[in-house]
Protein backbone atom coordinates (compact mmCIF):
# COMPACT_ATOMS: atom_id res chain seq x y z
CA UNK A 1 0.00 0.00 0.00
CA UNK A 2 1.13 3.51 -0.70
CA UNK A 3 1.85 6.11 1.92
CA UNK A 4 3.44 9.53 2.15
CA UNK A 5 5.29 10.98 5.11
CA UNK A 6 6.18 14.63 5.38
CA UNK A 7 8.68 14.66 8.16
CA UNK A 8 8.10 18.23 9.32
CA UNK A 9 4.69 19.71 9.97
CA UNK A 10 6.20 23.18 10.14
CA UNK A 11 9.43 24.68 8.79
CA UNK A 12 10.65 28.21 9.44
CA UNK A 13 13.49 29.83 7.47
CA UNK A 14 14.90 33.30 7.10
CA UNK A 15 14.44 35.13 3.83
CA UNK A 16 17.36 34.42 1.50
CA UNK A 17 18.32 31.12 3.16
CA UNK A 18 17.81 27.63 1.66
CA UNK A 19 14.56 25.71 1.97
CA UNK A 20 14.34 21.94 2.54
CA UNK A 21 10.96 20.22 2.83
CA UNK A 22 11.22 16.49 3.33
CA UNK A 23 9.04 13.77 1.86
CA UNK A 24 9.33 10.00 2.07
CA UNK A 25 6.99 7.59 0.36
CA UNK A 26 6.22 3.92 0.06
CA UNK A 27 4.90 2.35 -3.10
CA UNK A 28 4.65 -1.13 -4.50
CA UNK A 29 5.00 0.09 -8.07
CA UNK A 30 6.93 2.72 -9.95
CA UNK A 31 5.34 5.85 -8.56
CA UNK A 32 4.69 9.30 -9.90
CA UNK A 33 5.53 11.98 -7.35
CA UNK A 34 4.34 15.56 -7.11
CA UNK A 35 4.75 18.65 -4.97
CA UNK A 36 1.87 21.09 -4.67
CA UNK A 37 1.72 24.48 -2.94
CA UNK A 38 -1.34 25.98 -1.28
CA UNK A 39 -1.59 29.61 -0.24
CA UNK A 40 -4.21 30.53 2.40
CA UNK A 41 -7.79 29.98 1.27
CA UNK A 42 -6.65 28.95 -2.21
CA UNK A 43 -6.57 25.80 -4.27
CA UNK A 44 -3.46 23.71 -4.82
CA UNK A 45 -0.94 24.64 -7.49
CA UNK A 46 1.50 22.18 -9.03
CA UNK A 47 5.15 22.99 -8.29
CA UNK A 48 6.77 20.03 -10.01
CA UNK A 49 6.35 16.34 -10.82
CA UNK A 50 8.46 13.22 -11.29
CA UNK A 51 7.27 10.55 -13.70
CA UNK A 52 10.25 8.19 -14.24
CA UNK A 53 12.31 10.55 -16.36
CA UNK A 54 15.19 12.62 -14.90
CA UNK A 55 15.57 12.10 -11.16
CA UNK A 56 16.28 15.80 -10.55
CA UNK A 57 13.13 17.70 -11.32
CA UNK A 58 12.95 21.47 -11.70
CA UNK A 59 9.72 23.27 -11.00
CA UNK A 60 8.29 26.73 -10.86
CA UNK A 61 9.51 29.60 -8.68
CA UNK A 62 13.01 28.14 -8.32
CA UNK A 63 11.98 24.94 -6.58
CA UNK A 64 13.44 21.55 -7.40
CA UNK A 65 13.22 18.02 -6.04
CA UNK A 66 15.33 14.90 -6.37
CA UNK A 67 13.87 11.42 -6.61
CA UNK A 68 16.01 8.93 -4.67
CA UNK A 69 14.66 5.43 -5.05
CA UNK A 70 17.13 3.87 -2.63
CA UNK A 71 16.00 6.27 0.09
CA UNK A 72 12.35 6.39 -1.07
CA UNK A 73 12.57 10.15 -0.79
CA UNK A 74 11.46 13.14 -2.84
CA UNK A 75 12.64 16.18 -0.90
CA UNK A 76 11.80 19.69 -2.10
CA UNK A 77 14.50 22.37 -2.08
CA UNK A 78 15.03 25.98 -3.02
CA UNK A 79 18.37 27.80 -2.75
CA UNK A 80 16.98 31.08 -1.44
CA UNK A 81 13.62 31.60 0.26
CA UNK A 82 11.38 34.50 -0.64
CA UNK A 83 8.59 35.94 1.48
CA UNK A 84 6.06 34.82 -1.13
CA UNK A 85 7.09 31.19 -0.54
CA UNK A 86 5.26 31.14 2.78
CA UNK A 87 2.50 28.58 2.24
CA UNK A 88 1.46 24.96 2.80
CA UNK A 89 3.27 22.33 0.76
CA UNK A 90 1.94 18.88 -0.06
CA UNK A 91 3.88 15.87 -1.30
CA UNK A 92 1.74 13.53 -3.40
CA UNK A 93 2.37 9.97 -4.59
CA UNK A 94 0.47 7.97 -7.14
CA UNK A 95 0.84 4.54 -8.61
CA UNK A 96 -1.36 1.97 -10.24
CA UNK A 97 -3.25 -0.08 -7.70
CA UNK A 98 -5.46 -2.77 -9.10
CA UNK A 99 -7.14 -1.18 -12.09
CA UNK A 100 -7.17 2.47 -11.14
CA UNK A 101 -4.84 5.18 -9.98
CA UNK A 102 -4.66 5.86 -6.29
CA UNK A 103 -3.50 9.29 -5.23
CA UNK A 104 -2.14 9.83 -1.73
CA UNK A 105 -1.59 13.29 -0.29
CA UNK A 106 0.88 13.85 2.51
CA UNK A 107 -0.31 15.76 5.60
CA UNK A 108 1.42 18.94 4.48
CA UNK A 109 4.31 21.10 5.67
CA UNK A 110 3.69 24.72 6.59
CA UNK A 111 6.57 26.96 5.51
CA UNK A 112 7.14 30.27 7.28
CA UNK A 113 9.63 32.81 5.93
CA UNK A 114 11.06 35.30 8.40
CA UNK A 115 12.08 38.73 7.05
Partner 1 sequence: DGGITQSPKYLFRKEGQNVTLSCEQNLNHDAMYWYRQDPGQGLRLIYYSQIVNDFQKGDIAEGYSVSREKKESFPLTVTSAQKNPTAFYLCASSIGIGPSSGNTIYFGEGSWLTVV
* 68-92 burial code (b ≥16 CB/10 A, e <16): eeeeebbbbebeebeeebbbbbbbb
CA-only gyration radius of the chain, Å: 14
Least distance to partner 1 from the beta carbon of 94, Å? 4
Of 32, 62, 64, 66, the one binding partner 1 (CB under 8 A) is 32
How far from chain centre, in Å, is Cα 77?
A: 9
Per-residue x/- marks for partner 1, 48-77, CB under 8 A?
-x-x--------------------------
Q: Which stretch binds partner 1 (CB under 8 A): 12-20, 34-42, 57-65, 75-83?
A: 34-42
Amino acid sequence: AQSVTQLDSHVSVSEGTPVLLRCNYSSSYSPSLFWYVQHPNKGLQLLLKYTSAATLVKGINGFEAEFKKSETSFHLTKPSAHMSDAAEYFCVVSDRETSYDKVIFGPGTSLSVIP
